[in-house]
Structure 1
Amino acid sequence: MTILELLSADPSKKFIRNFLHNSDKDRVSNQLESLSIAPNSWFWDSLVSSSIKSVKTMKEDDYLEAIPRFLQLLEQNPIYTKDILTALLERYATTSRRTIVHEVLKNISLTQWGNPQYDSSAGWRNVSLDTKKMVIQWFVRADLEAFFTVFGSSADVRRFNYWMRFLKQVTLSEIFLNDQAMRYPTAQQAEFKRNNAGRFKRIVGKSNAANAFMIKIGGFYIVEFSEMNNATYFYRKLPYPPFQGKTGKVEITSLKSTSQAQFYLSHQGAWEKSFDRRLQELGIFPD
């Protein structure tokens, strides 16, 4: 790039093209340095802002290919984190891959803005409600997959497939881990815990309690346990007291309460049909 190009009406255009499509990640920085443009120059700010704006108009394939470059930019320039993350998530929600979890975007958004399933996570106001719902579904899917494959004694395909039929209606999901998973996790369990810091709670009150998960569909909180000899409990309100949630520890008696639950169902025989009938009575149908 020459000084004449730099002084043109759109001086950052060529840099944007190089930034988005050149395999040499340092090319733009080297070009700016050769022109004696400092990292804190107005030109660099203009370049980043224009690159972020270009996300909206990029073709889907070009956008998906450029995601790693933007994530690198985010890491190198934290000051642009909100703008970059907002642009990437909003654009991803319009692609044909929105139902496919993007693990890096999911983990970065959790670190930056907290759990999108909680209204207290104010950072999620940066994106539209539809985009927020997309990310919530990412976490719900990840929770269901982890619970039935990583924290269960064996892969429970039937229950996983059953609850995935209601994925778009789930507005909250939580995992509750027993002493074994908390103190002596397997490699997969440890990885899940690292990637979901602050998104799981500990079961207390019984050392050999099964792991549990909870999802909210409509007006019901539904609690399942990793061991099949446990029933599925349906609650009209959050089954554990708010103070327990804040401590990150929940009593097993709060999750498994025949007296507080609206009702509970067992997994016997063709249990999917009996579950469907009961849920339909509540006005809840598969997606």
Structure 2
Amino acid sequence: MLIHSAIESLRQRLKQSASSIDFGEGWFGQPQLVERAAQASEKLFQGYAKAKPSAEDAYAAVLAFARGQQVSELQRHMIASAITVPLRELAHSRLLGLPRFAQLIASYQSQANKGNLWQLTWYGLMGSYFAFDPVGAKAEDLAGWDQLRDLLNQTWPLIDRQAGDALCPDWLSLMREERQLLGPRPADKYGRDWLDGKTEATEKLRVDLDIPPASWFWHELVAGAVRASTAASDEVFISAIPKLLDLIAERPVCRDDALEAILGRYHLSRGAPVHEGLRDYVVQKEVWRNPKLRDAGYATAWNRVPDEVWLMVLGWVNERNLRDFFDILAARNKADEGRLEFWSKYMKQITWTRLIFSRDTMALARQKPEVRALIAREEGAYATLTVNKDVDAFMMRIGRFIIVEFSKKPNACYIYDVDDMKFDRNSRQYTGGTDDLKYGYYDSDAASIRHLPHWQINGAKTLARLGILPDASIKDTLKGPAQDMRRAAPTPLRRDEVATTRVTTTVAGSWPSPGLTQAPAISATAVPSALALTSDDRESVSATWSMAPRGAKFRMAGLQYMVGQFKEARIIDGRKADGSGRVWVANPQRGRDLDHWLESNGFDWSERSSMWFFPE
């Protein structure tokens, strides 16, 4: 009875299929009618070749298997198309992340080896492969997805041979041409064209392989576009940056890998001028945050790039802070008087900046979008004034001096030696009076610049007496920000030693995307050498001093920079050529930010010595 019922069901379906074919009107046997019928038949065949079980049946089969129940061969076929579906009853776990998934994979492999794996089952497995959404995926899900890709790679030759040269589904013909889709860099082939708006090839993939919008494939397409762009000439690469940033924002799984490659490549471009779009995107709170927060442990993504790349962006941020202070804050009180132009002459020597907002400015943020945006950009880095409610302040470091400017006349500009300052430049709050930022008003040891008529001439003389000259006067030796950090820095690459950089995969969701590789610069340009050692430096600085301790996550330049921000803190490098000894940090004032940074970067506290040390 059951057999008769199945045969009758099949007969009815064949009848419906035949009746759905449009033979058209006219005498039977006419060529155009035969061709039309053939096309309709092929369309019908392609539809059956991509047939999937109902979502409800597939879900039920997956849930049963996940719960340890025995499943039939038909249910195992259904499971193939729903491997990546979250299971509500199991806390939204996915089958490919559960322990039993390995058993399922082994059964499919066994069937394929015996020649019993259905073509439609393989198509279902491929559908699950492309349906995987890496956003928020667990490590177990990612491992399972790798197993699924390995299975498809191993069984594809069997499925391909089984199909032969006869009429085959569109998806199978496409896979014969696009085997890289199962490889480590599945989307590189389309990256450049997709970036240029040529989407015909990817659209064909989307339709024939039924790739959903949330698939990992689109994130990989972004990575492929980044790889293609970073391998191009300076002109082509830089022109592609706005589009790349839009794509990364839309598909953020490979964001950190992509940004590391883009920033590194841009650093190698000729001159590497300020790129406002790249700067504004990467410093967002939701992205990498302000680079000034790196060594405080609040923006650790900046540890992904070399110090010279970090310093490049830090210089961009410092320059914008200076311009914002005078264009937005000081301009409100008509107090610029050429100060932006004056300090711009020393821009390349500014290694650190900090904005200090008054209560009026914080309140004004509710009304003025530009003020609100400025405060948002400096979140985590700015300070506030508690007494002077309508005066903002700006701190910057040039060499060994901290310079404090104010947004309103008649306040003078004060210049303090960083080693003798009487206030903590990392404090969250200041009064803004003579007890902190303006103590130089009564201190004869502090230099000042008073904004009287022709103040620029006297200001330049005051700075020159302190050894601070305009950038143009020292252009042969000054290559970028952080000149005062040079003694702690590694030797830069020579022109002929521009290396490729492997990007590690530590992105949101831990997506196992293949590494994005920085291509060597196409233009014959030297690597910017803000951290270069001079020949005299190389004689006086040991090789061990330029290297971080074994196992350290920080770089010595970063450690030097962080320690240099705290009064009386210093590095004691006790390492010797034979490998003995340790790196110590003395922090007599026990500044909380420095202690936190040291501890978070692996340093231990020695009660006996009352110092921090890095255990090797």
Deviates more, 1:261-270 or 1:162-171: 261-270
Distance 1:147 1:167 in 2: 14
**Aligned partners of 1:163, 1:193: CA distance in 2, in Å?**
22
Contact 1:106 1:135 in 2 (8 A): no
Partners in 1 of 2:201 and 2:377 — Cα distance? 32
Alignment match of 1:215 (pick from 396, 399, 402): 396
Write the mapping of 1:9-158 to structure 2, written as runs, cut at 5 A: 12-22=187-197, 28=202, 31-37=205-211, 47-96=221-270, 98-111=272-285, 112-118=287-293, 119-120=295-296, 121-152=299-330, 153-154=333-334, 156=336, 158=338
1:159 aligns with 2:339: yes
1:3 aligns with 2:175: yes
> Does structure 2 retain, via aligned residues, the 8 Å contact 1:116–1:135?
yes
Name the CA shift for 1:217/1:129 in 2 (closer, same or farther; >3 Å): same
Deviation string for 1:29-87 (max 9, x for gaps)? 66335323467878667644443333331122322332233223322333212111111
Describe the SS at the equivalent of 1:213: strand
Provide, for residues 65-124 of structure 1, a one-character-per-residue CA deviation record: whole Å limited to 9, x for no partner. Answer: 322332233223332121111112222223357323423543433423332234223322
What is the CA deviation profile of residues 1-31 of structure 1, one whole-angstrom value per residue up to 9, with x for unaligned ones? 943331269864441132221166x973663
Aligned equivalents of 1:56, 1:97: Cα separation in 2: 16
Equivalent in the alignment of 1:193: 375
* Aligned-partner Cα distance in 2 for 1:187–1:109: 18
Deviation per CA, 1:114-164: give whole Å up to 9, x if none. 322342233222122222222112112211111111111127251101111
Q: CA deviation at 1:226?
A: 1.0
- Cα distance in 2 for partners of 1:182, 1:44 equals 41
Distance 1:275 1:29, change over 3 A: farther
Cα distance in structure 2, aligned partners of 1:30 and 1:5: 12
Question: How far, CA to CA, are the matches of 1:192 and 1:275 in structure 2?
Answer: 28
| TM-score, normalisation: structure 1 | 0.84
* In 2: Cα distance, 1:97 partner to 1:20 partner: 25
Partner of 2:118: none
AA partner of residue 169 (structure 1):
Q
Which AA in structure 2 matches 1:54? Answer: A
Gap change, CA 1:92 and 1:282, over 3 Å in 2: same
Shift of the 114–134 alpha-carbon distance from structure 1 to 2, 3 Å rule, reads same
Residue pair 1:170, 1:215 contacting (<8 A) in 2 also:
yes
Cα 1:56/1:228, change in 2 over 3 Å = same
- C-alpha spacing 1:27/1:229, structure 2 compared with 1 (3 Å): farther
Contact 2:364 2:371 survives alignment (8 Å):
no
Q: Gaps spanning 5+ residues in structure 1: where?
A: none
**CA 252–14 in structure 1, closer or farther in 2 if over 3 Å, else same:** same
Q: Give the distance between the partners of 2:380 and 2:201, measured in 1 at CA.
A: 39
> CA contact under 8 A between 1:55 and 1:87: conserved in structure 2?
no
CA separation of 1:6/1:161 partners in 2, compared to 1, >3 Å: closer, same or farther?
same
Distance 1:34 1:239, change over 3 A: farther
SS at match of 1:117: helix
What is the distance in 2 between the residues matched to 1:264 and 1:133?
28
1:265 is displaced (CA, Å) by 2.2
Aligned equivalent of 2:437 = 255
Mapped partners of 1:158, 1:109: distance in 2: 28
1:155 and 1:269 map into 2 onto residues whose CA distance is: 13
User: Match for 2:262: what amino acid?
Assistant: L
Which secondary structure does the structure 2 equivalent of 1:99 belong to? coil
Contact 2:403–2:413, Cα closer than 8 Å, also in 1: yes
Q: 1:29 to 1:141 in 2, by over 3 A?
A: farther
Structure 1 46/75 Cα, relative in aligned 2: closer, same or farther at 3 Å?
closer
Distance in 1, matches of 2:344 and 2:362, equals: 26
How far, CA to CA, are the matches of 1:23 and 1:194 in structure 2?
37
CA 1:157/1:35 → structure 2, altered by over 3 Å: closer, same or farther?
A: farther
Give the 3-state SS of the residue equivalent to 1:214 in structure 2. Answer: strand
Structure 1 pair 32–77 and aligned structure 2 pair: CA distance change class (3 A): same
- Residues of 2 paired with 1:155 and 1:140: CA distance? 20
Q: Give how far 1:225 is off.
A: 0.6
Q: Distance in 1 between matches of 2:302 and 2:191?
A: 28
Report the equivalent of 2:424: 241
The structure whose Rg is larger is 2
Q: Which residue is equivalent to 1:206?
A: 388
Deviates more, 1:213-222 or 1:65-74: 65-74
Q: Distance in 2 between matches of 1:30 and 1:144?
A: 50
In the alignment, is the contact (CA less than 8 A) between 1:137 and 1:170 conserved in 2? yes
In structure 1, C-alpha distance between the alignment counterparts of 2:312 and 2:276, rounded to whole Å: 11
Separation in structure 1 between the aligned mates of residue 456 and residue 179 of structure 2, nearest angstrom: 68
Stretch deviating more after TM superposition (10-19 or 152-161): 10-19
- Are the equivalent residues in 2 in contact too, given 1:55–1:91 (CA < 8 A)? no
CA contact (8 A) 2:291 2:310 kept: yes
Query: 1:168, 1:195 → 2: CA distance?
Result: 21
Quote the Cα distance in structure 1 between the aligned partners of 2:192 and 2:429.
Answer: 51
Q: How many pairs align?
A: 282
